[in-house]
Amino acid sequence: MTILPNHRAAGQLRPWLRDRVADFINRDPATIDTATPLADLGLDSVYALALCGEIEDHLGVPLEPTIVWDHPSIDALTEYLSGLPLDAGT
């Protein structure tokens, strides 16, 4: 599977993550501060695991199921994910 670089670019990834989190917590994405810890936004462990799966599907890379807790905000996740090697999923 070929990974397109724009899927990992922070400018593309941050809004996608914000939209996914907003969907899980039933909030308008515009109201979400991307620096706020996901747990403070109300993302529980079930949704965190689901988010991890969606990130894996979106980027085509395997991830540890604890990634959302290891990088506990949208900004932290964006920074980590955009720094992964492009061949991480191959």
Question: Tens digits of per-residue pLDDT, 8-58?
Answer: 677 789 999 999 999 999 999 999 999 999 999 999 999 999 999 999 999
DSSP string computed for 11-71: HHHHHHHHHHHHHHHT--GGG--TTSBHHHHT--HHHHHHHHHHHHHHHT----TTHHHHS
The answer, yes or no, to whether residue 80 has pLDDT greater than 90, is yes
The answer, yes or no, to whether residue 88 has pLDDT greater than 90, is no
Pick the range with the lowest mean pLDDT from 48-57, 64-73, 80-89.
80-89
d(CA 15, CA 18): 5
State residue 60's pLDDT score. 87
d(CA 40, CA 26): 14
